Amino acid sequence: MATKKKNLKKSAKTAPKATATAQPQAQAPQQDPNALSIGDLKNLSTILDVASTRGAFKANEMAGVGFLYNKLQAFLAKVAPEQKPEDAKAEAPATAEGK
């Protein structure tokens, strides 16, 4: 019996060490605060649209702004194409009710 108690004590001492090493792995990885999300890019697209509507850009700057805006729109359409059909479905019943 004495050997069983010693074995239990040894296993009890090693068990906390195993859980201590498992805890850092269980933590979620921290996101980079400087990373851009799809939502950030959509907001940038809106900002470019509003700024151009309000005349924030000079005429000689509009070509560059327009090129960047079109490139951003194409990227957003490629990344999230499944959201557009859902938006169209949501708008269709709303317009039918308004008639």
Domain boundaries, given as residue ranges, for the chain: 37-83
Question: How far apart, in whole angstroms, are the C-alpha atoms of residue 97 and residue 23?
Answer: 55
Q: How far apart are CA 36 and CA 47, in angstroms?
A: 15
Residue type, 29: P
For the chain, 99 residues long, give each residue's pLDDT as a single digit of tens: 555 555 555 555 555 555 555 555 667 677 888 888 999 999 999 999 999 999 999 999 999 999 999 999 999 999 976 655 555 555 555 555 554
Which residues have a Cβ under 8 Å from the Cβ of 66 and sit 6 or more positions away? 52
CB contact set of 69 (below 8 Å; sequence gap of 6+) = 45, 48, 49, 52
Cα 45 from Cα 61, distance rounded (Å)? 16
